[in-house]
Copies of this chain bind each other. A is one copy, B any other.
Amino acid sequence: MADTPIPAPPEPAVTRLSLYLRHLEELRADGVVTISSTRIGSAVGCSAAQVRKDLGYFGQFGRRGVGYPVEDLAASLRHILGTHRLWPTALVGVGNLGSALLAYEGFKRRGFMISCAFDNDPQKIGRVINSVLIRDVAEFSSAVCERGIRLGIIAVGARTAQTVVDMMIRAGIEGILNFAPTQVRVPDTVVLYAEDLAIRLEQITYHLMRRGAAETSSSP
């Protein structure tokens, strides 16, 4: 104890850190050297105060009266988020979505590389997508341990998702991104995020319903 120098950052701040980084990388590509919190905020859709507060949880990165150095701040954020190094990642489930994730260029550009893929369909095992061999899911544990892989992506159906999660945890996977449309359970030693594509669309239709209703009720 005796050192509580910085309060723990709220979860939403961490998400915004990623947005800041993405914007800083665009700025760097455009040759921008220095940027203000106001500009960052307006680019990612939040206030300047929010940007400064969020960065403040992690240190001091700017100069008063000047702004933030684009290159250095990007490097700092990469270190905070852990993406200054490349993370080899294991994918389970090579259906439509899995294949797309395997071929997705966006991961590599941000420090992730799917270096192992698994399925239980004999038709798929042995094939190569994007120069990654699809292995039998029975080999998961050995393949993952050999390579020191810590991240797993799940792109199987809802039915088998929990089984895959359990397998991943037994193999020592520490972080899981679940695309299966079901809630899975992990011990709190494991970091789990879920992404249900249909649910995201539902958020949108909810708001469309509300707007339609509001317009109707205010017009007569």
* Count of identical protomers in the assembly: 2
- Bound together, the chains give a CA A23 to CA B218 distance in angstroms of 35
Contact residues in B for A204 (Cβ distance below 8 Å): 151, 175-177, 191, 193
- Does A200 sit within 8 A of B, measured CB to CB? yes
- Does A145 sit within 8 A of B, measured CB to CB? no
A96-154 interface (Cβ within 8 A of B):
96-97, 99-101, 103-104, 106-107, 109-112, 150-151, 153
Is the pair A203, B193 in contact by a Cβ cutoff of 8 Å? yes
Is the pair B89, A201 in contact by a Cβ cutoff of 8 Å? yes
Contact residues in B for A200 (Cβ distance below 8 Å): 177, 193, 195
Given A97-B104, A104-B96, check contact A199 B22 (CB 8 Å). Answer: yes
- Does A26 sit within 8 A of B, measured CB to CB? yes
- 4 tightest Cβ-Cβ pairs between the two chains A and B: A100-B100, A82-B205, A175-B204, A110-B198
